[in-house]
Structure 1
Amino acid sequence: MLKKLLSDTVIYGLTTVLMRLINYLLVPLHTKVFDPDAFGIVSIFYSFAVFFNVIYTYGMETTYFWFASKEGSDKEEVFSKILSSLSITSVVFSSILWLFSGQISTLLGFENSDIYVKFFALLYAIDTLLVVPFASLRIDGQAKRFAVLKIIEVVLTVGLNYFFLVTCVSIVETNSDSFITEFVSKIYDPSLGLGYAFLANLISKAIIMILFMDKFIKLKFSWSWKSMKPFYSYGFPLVFAGVAFAINEVSDRLLIPLLLPEGFYSFGDADYAVGVYAACYKLSIFVTFTVTAYKYSAEPFFFNQAGSKDSPKVFARIMYYFVIVLMVMVVAVSANLEVIAPILIRREEYLVGLPVVPILLMANLFLGMYYNLSVWFKVTDNTKYGALISAIGALFTISLNALLVPYFGFYGSAIATFVCYLSMMILAYVLGQKYYPIPYNVKMISFYLIMGGCFLVLLSQLSINGFWESIFIHNAIFALFLLIVFFMERQFIVSTLQIVQKKILKK
């Protein structure tokens, strides 16, 4: 049971690492090609994408896991019903966005950018149609195919970004009479500018859709309110949870331009500040890819194991080691920010936002804990509580941004994100213990969180002259943290190493 979870997590984890590392090539590329103002616009559009993805999918991914994992269920029938529903609604939603693209771009404050809205109208529809095929790979244990397709997608996205934003620009600027220049001039329009960042994503999604043709061929298109009512009853509360969660996830990047006083930062305006904050947010990569990888493997695992009498103990054990691993990552990244940041962020002007990174790392750790804790309302068919918890988190996010951003800038947004995910984690635990008790080791989990927090404060307060001196001392502090973890978990580590050694000797 745990071996399967670990195996899938390793595959998803390695995939996510590769995806994130390749995808994060876009950070140095975009921060080199775009100034912070333009990068801020890209970030704002993708922030809205999070909201629309929730609306487009309306909880059907988790709904698919719930109904397809039930004993005696017909997975192909569940697949066809849910995908049929998503196909109908995607056409309707995207048609509305396409028809009103001009008005929408004006409403967002970006004149003459209706082509960006049209790109996203197509992108949302295609991305939604890929949700169920990818979910079917996860529930069927086809982690390798999932990994291959995800890596293809991200490689295409990065490659096309580089082609449009670097190669085509370079060729057109040479203004030669060669065949290549003539060809590029026909497919490349310099006036589209940052729109190519969106077009590259759209093309890569369309290619992945073609590679899923074997899934779409099996689709038996069918829809009726009567047959879909059980699916909607389970999934619709997740829409409210998803919208609230989207507010928690991206509203900071949308609220900063509205709440930041004019002239607050000497280095740039509000769009500039959004670009700096968004770039620094991406430095939480090492925690977010671990959380994402874990979520991919854990969600179907939880549904499949929920009926086992030993499942509460298993879930508690998973949470315990999950927190330890993430806390080690948070301290490691914080200790080495001076090395990591210049590699991923190519312009020095973005680095002014680095102090927010440890706050965001801890926020994402709490988000990962929330994913663990949220298992109870999904396996007990109480998704309404997920909506309630996310709504309370959204309330914290909006109110704290409104309160803190005018005085602390994007530091206020980072604090709001931290408090939001912490509150959601605590609420999920308290309610979960009432409806689906799991014997979490609260004492030791709290110990690691508090100890890790103390080390982060120590790292952030140290002021050391000299790059190498700073790296040495920061990593000495990290090594001390590792020694404490090893001392506390020595029995488990030693026993695990002995088991691995025996398996190697048998082979």
Structure 2
Amino acid sequence: MSVLKNLKNLASDSLIYGLSGILTRFIGVFLTPIYTRVYTPDDYGVIGVLTNAFILITIFLVFAMDNSTARWFYDTEVSEERKRIINTWLWFYLFISVIATVFFFFTANYWAALVLDDYADGAYLIKLLALTLPLLVLPSIGVNVLRFERKARRAVFLSLYQSLILIGFNILFVVILKKGVAGVYYAQLWGAILTLPVAIYFLYTWIGLPSWFDWVKFKEMLRYALPFVPASLGYWVVNLSGVFFINEFLPKSEVGLYQIGISIAAVSALATTSFQQAWSPFAFSILSQPHAKEIYAASLQLYVFVIGFICTLISVFAFEALVLLTTPAYYGAALVASMLTFNYLLMGLTNIAGLGASIAKKTAPLGMISLLSAGLLVALNLFLIPLYGKEGAAFAICIAQLIIPIYMFWKSQQLYFIPYKFLKNLAVFAAFIACSIASYHLPIVGFFSTILLKVILLLVTFFLIAWVNKEELYKIKSILKVRYSVR
């Protein structure tokens, strides 16, 4: 298959995932003005703590077996073998999720006192979250299996359906029934219940009895997954634990502002996540093609140019987004949002950086650097948050996240060399960061006049990058035009 066709397939899959994300995020952004008028920054602080704790629990439940399943799935074309691989993950995930539900339901009082201090309904909220855990197993596996099959439209439909149901229940419980913070978790529980039958519909040909669980495959997959667990924990520490550090040093209102900053920055995840969802199945599926390495190198260039510009756009206009979507009580989240936008860019870059290690089935380097990154973040948080508040936490995350793709590119190149253009891509990345920093030093001359100045700054940056990198852009254009036939 030609380089052109492969890149078009990657772009097509990314676009499909991206359109889903755009629709879902649009609805979520539409609800932000409502929620910021229902909840105080203190309420957002509680939601932020519970949300990030829930993600931490999910990391242990998944136990990185999704990565193993993806890798083993493409090792065979035999349907029965693939079904055993899927069911090995499914029954493992379901079993430990049920155990976790029982554990957290009956120890809710302890965890509420630990992470929510004196919040009145803390134990009740944790019980609601605990009941949700096993209900999310099949939807999660369903989306992944559809991605493995390269059925992007069906995967997007399932994800989008789940998001729309969740948003609908949020409107019902939070806005109409006025259930307060508990409304968020009623919505999650009922959203999971109504998503379950749709997930079963998409998975019914894959779901088998517990006898389809394969102990031999499980041991192999577990060995592959183990290094991803500290990597996932490191990811959580680097990207999500800041809420807990801020909660320790600062008032709940600052936690809420930080959480709003994450929400604004997460708009950039429309671009980065859509690419990530398409990237792994795409990269593994073309591994045996003769021009694979050239395609991988071109993909990095496209990612830095296109996704980098989108993230910079969101970073530059973070304050204006807060003005349009929230109340003045939340405007203080602007700088946090701008900084965390680049964290999402780095997270997506890590997927590309670790490709060589994944191809070689060497996952230990990712686990090691993720733990080192997490340790660095803890140290930076302890130092920067007392000095610079929530902005210090955002800066700490970006620094700790940066070392992961740097190391993974270095290690992956040793295991599976790809002809990346590192200096050119680094220069583009630095230019985008400089543009974002410069936007905060523009003169304040009124809301719309400031927007105009920022637009001019972005255009100047874009054309400067295009001029300096015209040779690389020409090569990318040539790759997109010239067909390389498989020999």
TM-score by length of 1: 0.88
Picking from 202, 210, 224, the partner of 2:189 is 202
Q: 1:353: how far off?
A: 2.3
Provide closer, same or farther for how the CA distance between residues 495 and 305 of structure 1 changes in structure 2, counting only shifts above 3 A. Answer: closer
Does the CA contact (< 8 Å) of 1:244 and 1:391 recur in 2?
A: yes
Q: 1:29: how far off?
A: 2.6
Counterpart in 1 of 2:367? 387
Structure-2 separation of matches of 1:26 and 1:381: 42
Counterpart in 2 of 1:220? 209
**Mapping 1:76-115, distance limit 5 Å:** 76-108=83-115, 109=117, 110-115=119-124
Identity within the alignment, %:
20
CA deviation string 1:421-457 (max 9, x = no partner): 1111111111112222221101110110122222222
Residue 28 (1) aligns with residue 36 (2)? no
Q: 1:497: how far off?
A: 8.4
Counterpart in 2 of 1:284? 265
Picking from 247, 265, 288, the partner of 1:307 is 288
Does the CA contact (< 8 Å) of 1:5 and 1:301 recur in 2?
A: yes
Does the CA contact (< 8 Å) of 1:334 and 1:459 recur in 2?
A: no
Q: 1:303: how far off?
A: 1.9
Q: 1:66: how far off?
A: 0.6
Q: 1:4: how far off?
A: 1.5
Structure-2 separation of matches of 1:451 and 1:201: 40
Provide closer, same or farther for how the CA distance between residues 370 and 287 of structure 1 changes in structure 2, counting only shifts above 3 A. Answer: same
Provide closer, same or farther for how the CA distance between residues 41 and 475 of structure 1 changes in structure 2, counting only shifts above 3 A. Answer: same
CA deviation string 1:88-132 (max 9, x = no partner): 111112111112122222222234422211111122222233222
Counterpart in 2 of 1:42? 47
In the alignment, residue 371 of structure 2 is paired with which amino acid?
A
Residue 229 (1) aligns with residue 210 (2)? no
In the alignment, residue 152 of structure 2 is paired with which amino acid?
A
Structure-2 separation of matches of 1:500 and 1:421: 31
Please say which of residues 490-499 and 250-259 is displaced more in the overlay: 490-499
Provide closer, same or farther for how the CA distance between residues 501 and 301 of structure 1 changes in structure 2, counting only shifts above 3 A. Answer: closer
Counterpart in 1 of 2:450? 470
In the alignment, residue 129 of structure 1 is paired with which amino acid?
L
Residue 148 (1) aligns with residue 129 (2)? no
Does the CA contact (< 8 Å) of 2:84 and 2:214 recur in 1?
A: no
Structure-2 separation of matches of 1:385 and 1:495: 32
3-state SS of 1:461 partner: coil
Picking from 228, 248, 253, the partner of 2:238 is 248
Residue 456 (1) aligns with residue 444 (2)? no
Provide closer, same or farther for how the CA distance between residues 350 and 466 of structure 1 changes in structure 2, counting only shifts above 3 A. Answer: same
Provide closer, same or farther for how the CA distance between residues 404 and 338 of structure 1 changes in structure 2, counting only shifts above 3 A. Answer: closer
In the alignment, residue 320 of structure 1 is paired with which amino acid?
Q
Picking from 343, 356, 380, the partner of 2:324 is 343
Structure-1 separation of matches of 2:427 and 2:234: 30
Counterpart in 1 of 2:357? 377
Q: 1:227: how far off?
A: 4.2
Please say which of residues 60-69 and 301-310 is displaced more in the overlay: 301-310
Counterpart in 1 of 2:129? 120
CA deviation string 1:146-174 (max 9, x = no partner): 111211211111111111122224xxxxx
Where structure 2 has 5 or more consecutive residues not aligned to the other structure, the ranges are 1-5, 483-487
Provide closer, same or farther for how the CA distance between residues 146 and 401 of structure 1 changes in structure 2, counting only shifts above 3 A. Answer: same
Structure-1 separation of matches of 2:150 and 2:260: 34
In the alignment, residue 323 of structure 2 is paired with which amino acid?
P
Please say which of residues 136-145 and 23-32 is displaced more in the overlay: 23-32
3-state SS of 2:75 partner: coil
Structure-2 separation of matches of 1:330 and 1:166: 31
Higher Rg of the two aligned structures: 1
For this pair of structures, how many residues does the alignment match? 471
Provide closer, same or farther for how the CA distance between residues 431 and 336 of structure 1 changes in structure 2, counting only shifts above 3 A. Answer: same
Residue 16 (1) aligns with residue 3 (2)? no
Structure-2 separation of matches of 1:19 and 1:312: 34
TM-score by length of 2: 0.91
In the alignment, residue 389 of structure 2 is paired with which amino acid?
G
Q: 1:325: how far off?
A: 1.0
Where structure 1 has 5 or more consecutive residues not aligned to the other structure, the ranges are 170-189, 261-269, 503-507
CA deviation string 1:350-409 (max 9, x = no partner): 111212222212222122111211112222111111111211111121110011101110
Provide closer, same or farther for how the CA distance between residues 491 and 423 of structure 1 changes in structure 2, counting only shifts above 3 A. Answer: closer
In the alignment, residue 22 of structure 2 is paired with which amino acid?
V
Residue 414 (1) aligns with residue 394 (2)? yes
Picking from 45, 49, 57, the partner of 1:52 is 57
Aligned Cα root-mean-square deviation (Å): 2.3
